[in-house]
């Protein structure tokens, strides 16, 4: 990437003097705009950072206006983070603002429903005049306005304790995104079939004087976006219930990529391979051809997939009229079930980390953060206006390996790369929260001192202790292979084993650390995602004037390369190395990292299968274990924000939340039993199990991190 930048700078040197002066003038204007933008970040200084009280919340909870801890951000920093778009377009803004709940005349955006799905209600502030919840934002793309999600929707937490509330910037959300999206789809469907709802809805939309001027236009748009959401929810339907505080984000990103990459020929072959339970063909050749009639050959995309889905369900002559069960069987041929939900990771220290994501899939060196964040926006509803273009030079085609293809994919999208870079830079100043003794109780320093010695012996080899005030800190990911750590393997297995049709990337070459790899037609989705994000980050913003968009892009790429102090290194830890036969072996592992602020990130383990730090130090009960022993709970409730400062985690019983069953695949609470003497250290030594007193000492020390 550095060589690419140098080549572009060389071209500028050879440019004519008038062109060079024009570029310099525009560059100066751009720098002035950026400077104004930095000042603009400080304009929203609401003293409560937009937070409001919920006197009658979901799950029987109520709380006053939340307070904030010292995390390196002031009021303006938090509000800018909450309300800065990344290019997410869930549905048109006017439709969202006017939509009623499915079985009520209350608006869908009402704070009670927002709290029901554990998102965080906000009051109107300068950056958020409509009082959208934390992480919900108005985005503009190609002259239209949309409701979208920001980083803060998934990475802002809250803890309640005895009538007080604490907001945790960068902490994991308690949200139930699949439940929220299912109810959103239900609201849209109910509006379309209920005359009074539809009439009230269209009147409210038109009264906004926004992007819609005609009633028929409103109804058509509602139908289109309801179908889009139904398709999204159907493709991502999982037999594993997520509940609160978890999401299979990678599975959903993978599926969005496959939907926008697969080509007509590949879909046609899969339609002919689809079979019923009795192994008979699901579609005749004539039906398959009819379903794909008029669909683009190179890029199918979202709209065409919606057409295909409708035709597959249609009982009109010539169409197959597939049942729900048949559609899911067909879904599994094209996509992968996102059945490995994991806890939302916390964001403090992310910019100081060498590798990120639970299985260390993403390097943080160079432009790695930009690619990672672009992939994230693909997953949270970035508009992907990818189209097939004639062969010819294109920077995105070159970087994504398509330079020799007869057609190339143009990666035009709503993804705001400049904002992604700004958000990553903003996170450099975010620090982990310190245990608030004035709210959660004093730390027993004598017990904590004993716990520190236990931590040094049992935990330090994987979880390095850092100073969160040290600007030069580096968070080293210590990888442990699946067999070594013993935790639920499904997320890591899916990241490697999930495959899909590579579309236009078939037989392109992708550069890996060990050399180039050809992408086969049926390829690991991790490979396809890498090519897609490379194409995305090398495609300037289509909403800007052509010279401005390229200067912005150059600035963004240069700052990503030269301001990123994380060096490219090999992974640390005990894991299987990549080989020519298994080029993604190293992803069959999970990452350990520094535990500063760990007290504020329950539930624990990567899949959220243990409710508290104390219970994390207990063993998993196995056959033959004594009945009167202490063990990790097999079932517990999730969803409450009320905190347990003794065990250190959220309360996990006594309310009607989501029942987390650890006996189900993806939910296993096995492994990471170092304190129980059942999991060996990195050096292969299994230490003796801790006594109960030692567990409590260690928990007390963990509060201090």
- In 321-392 the beta strands, taken as DSSP E runs, fall at 342-343, 355-356, 362-363, 387-390
- First-last CA distance in the chain: 38
How does residue 59 score in pLDDT terms, banded at 50, 70 and 90?
A: very high
**If you average pLDDT over residues 417-424, what whole number do you get?**
93
156 vs 121: CA distance, rounded Å: 12
How far, CA to CA in Å, does 619 sit from each of 16, 449, 599, 630? Answer: 71, 24, 20, 8
Which residues have CB under 8 Å from 139's CB, separation 6+?
85, 87, 88, 89, 93, 145, 146, 147, 148, 414, 416
- Say what the pLDDT of residue 548 is: 82
Cis peptide before 603 (omega within 30 of 0): yes
How does residue 4 score in pLDDT terms, banded at 50, 70 and 90?
A: very low
Whether 36 shows a pLDDT value over 70: the answer reads no
* Residue whose C-alpha is closest to residue 375's, from 8, 86, 23: 86
- Say what the pLDDT of residue 38 is: 60
**DSSP string spanning 388-427?**
EEESS--HHHHHTT-TTSSEEEE--BS--HHHHHHHHHHG
Q: Are 336 and 254 in contact (CB under 8 A)?
A: yes
- Say what the pLDDT of residue 8 is: 47
566 vs 413: CA distance, rounded Å: 28
**DSSP string spanning 188-223?**
HHHHHH-HHHHHHHHHHHHHTTSS---HHHHHHHHH
pLDDT tens digits for 242-286?
999 999 999 999 999 999 999 999 999 999 999 999 999 999 999
Whether 392 shows a pLDDT value over 80: the answer reads no
Q: Are 89 and 139 in contact (CB under 8 A)?
A: yes
Higher pLDDT, 19 or 390: 390
Higher pLDDT, 326 or 389: 326
37 vs 688: CA distance, rounded Å: 56
Whether 12 shows a pLDDT value over 50: the answer reads no
Whether 28 shows a pLDDT value over 80: the answer reads no
Percent with pLDDT over 90 in the chain: 79
Q: Are 81 and 151 in contact (CB under 8 A)?
A: yes
Whether 225 shows a pLDDT value over 70: the answer reads yes
The token pair at 649 is: 């985690």
Whether 304 shows a pLDDT value over 80: the answer reads yes
pLDDT tens digits for 572-616?
999 998 887 888 899 999 999 999 999 999 999 999 999 999 999
- Say what the pLDDT of residue 407 is: 85
Give the HSE-up count for residue 202: Cα atoms under 13 Å, Cβ half-sphere. Answer: 17
Q: Are strands 156-161 and 144-149 parallel, antiparallel or unpaired?
A: unpaired
Segment of 141-155, 388-402, 406-420, 562-576 carrying the highest mean pLDDT: 141-155
pLDDT tens digits for 675-698?
999 999 988 888 999 999 999 999
How does residue 237 score in pLDDT terms, banded at 50, 70 and 90?
A: very high
Residue 7 CA to its chain's centroid (Å)? 34
482 vs 589: CA distance, rounded Å: 5
Residue 585 CA to its chain's centroid (Å)? 23
b/e burial code for range 29-38 (CB count within 10 A of at least 16 → b): ebeeeeeeee
* Residue whose C-alpha is closest to residue 609's, from 252, 348, 166, 240: 240
pLDDT tens digits for 127-164?
999 999 999 999 999 999 999 999 999 999 999 999 99
pTM for this predicted structure: 0.93
pLDDT tens digits for 189-221?
999 999 999 999 999 999 999 999 999 999 999
* Residue whose C-alpha is closest to residue 474's, from 573, 575, 365, 371: 365
Whether 46 shows a pLDDT value over 60: the answer reads yes
Q: Are 643 and 579 in contact (CB under 8 A)?
A: no
pLDDT tens digits for 530-570?
999 999 999 989 988 888 888 888 888 888 888 888 888 98
Which residues have CB under 8 Å from 464's CB, separation 6+?
475, 476, 478, 594
Beta bridge partners of 637: 659
């Amino acid at each position: 990437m550095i060589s690419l930048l140098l080549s572009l700078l060389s071209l500028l040197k050879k440019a004519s003097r008038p062109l060079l002066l024009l570029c310099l003038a525009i560059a100066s204007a751009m720098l002035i705009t950026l400077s104004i933008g930095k000042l603009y970040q400080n304009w929203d200084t609401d003293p409560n950072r937009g937070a409001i009280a919920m006197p009658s919340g979901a799950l029987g909870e109520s709380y006053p206006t939340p307070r904030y801890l010292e995390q390196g951000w002031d009021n303006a920093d938090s509000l800018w983070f909450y309300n800065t778009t990344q290019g997410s377009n869930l549905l048109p803004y006017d439709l969202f603002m006017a939509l009623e709940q499915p079985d009520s005349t209350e608006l869908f955006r009402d704070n009670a429903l927002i709290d029901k799905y554990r998102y965080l209600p906000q009051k109107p502030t300068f950056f958020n005049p409509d009082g959208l919840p934390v992480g919900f934002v108005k985005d503009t793309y190609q002259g239209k306005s949309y409701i979208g999600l920001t980083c803060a929707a998934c990475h802002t937490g809250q803890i309640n304790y005895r009538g007080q509330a604490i907001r945790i910037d960068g902490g994991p959300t308690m949200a139930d995104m699949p439940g929220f999206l299912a109810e959103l789809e239900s609201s849209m469907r109910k509006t379309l079939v209920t005359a009074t709802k539809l009439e009230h809805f269209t009147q409210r939309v038109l009264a906004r004087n926004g992007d819609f001027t005609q009633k028929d236009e409103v109804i058509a748009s509602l139908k289109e976006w309801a179908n889009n959401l139904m398709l999204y929810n159907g493709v991502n339907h999982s037999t594993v219930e997520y509940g609160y505080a978890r999401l299979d984000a990678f599975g959903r990103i993978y599926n969005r990529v496959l939907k926008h990459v697969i080509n007509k020929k590949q879909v046609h072959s899969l339609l002919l391979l689809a079979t019923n339970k009795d192994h008979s063909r699901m579609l005749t050749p004539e039906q398959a051809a009819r379903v794909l009639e008029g669909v683009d050959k190179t890029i199918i995309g979202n709209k065409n997939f919606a057409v295909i889905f409708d035709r597959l369900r249609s009982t009109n002559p010539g169409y197959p009229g597939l049942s729900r069960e048949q559609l899911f069987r067909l879904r599994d041929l094209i996509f992968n079930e996102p059945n490995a939900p994991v806890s939302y990771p916390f964001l403090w220290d992310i910019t100081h980390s060498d590798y990120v994501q639970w299985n260390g899939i993403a390097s943080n060196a160079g432009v790695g953060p930009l690619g990672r964040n672009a992939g994230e926006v693909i997953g949270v509803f970035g508009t992907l206006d990818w189209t097939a273009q004639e062969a010819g030079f294109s920077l995105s085609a070159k970087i994504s390996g398509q330079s020799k293809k007869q057609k190339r994919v143009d990666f035009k999208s709503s993804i705001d790369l400049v904002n992604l870079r700004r958000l990553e830079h903003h996170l450099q100043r975010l620090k982990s929260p310190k245990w608030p003794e004035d709210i959660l109780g004093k730390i027993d320093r004598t017990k904590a001192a004993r716990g520190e010695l236990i931590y040094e012996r049992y935990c330090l080899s994987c979880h390095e202790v850092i100073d969160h005030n040290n600007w030069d800190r580096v968070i080293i990911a210590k990888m442990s292979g699946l067999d070594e750590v013993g935790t639920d393997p499904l997320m890591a297995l899916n990241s490697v084993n999930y495959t899909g049709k590579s579309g236009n990337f078939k037989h392109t070459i992708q550069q890996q650390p060990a050399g180039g790899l050809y992408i086969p037609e049926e390829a690991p989705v991790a490979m396809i995602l890498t090519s897609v994000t490379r194409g995305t980050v090398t495609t300037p913003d289509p909403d800007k004037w052509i010279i401005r968009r390229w200067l912005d892009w150059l600035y963004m790429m240069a700052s990503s390369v030269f301001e990123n102090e994380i060096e490219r290194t090999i992974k640390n830890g005990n894991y299987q190395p990549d080989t020519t036969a298994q080029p993604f072996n190293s992803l069959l592992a999970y990452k350990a990292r520094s535990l500063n602020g760990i007290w504020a990130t329950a539930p624990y383990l990567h899949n959220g299968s243990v409710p508290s730090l104390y219970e994390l130090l207990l063993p998993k009960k196995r056959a033959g274990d004594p009945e009167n022993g202490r063990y990790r709970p097999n079932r517990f409730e999730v969803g409450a924000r009320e905190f347990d400062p003794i065990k250190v985690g959220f309360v996990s019983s006594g309310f009607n939340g989501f029942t987390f069953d650890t006996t189900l695949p993806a939910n296993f609470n096995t492994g990471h039993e170092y304190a129980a003497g059942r999991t060996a250290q990195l050096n292969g030594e299994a230490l003796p199990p801790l006594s109960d007193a030692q567990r409590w000492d260690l928990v007390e020390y963990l509060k201090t991190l």
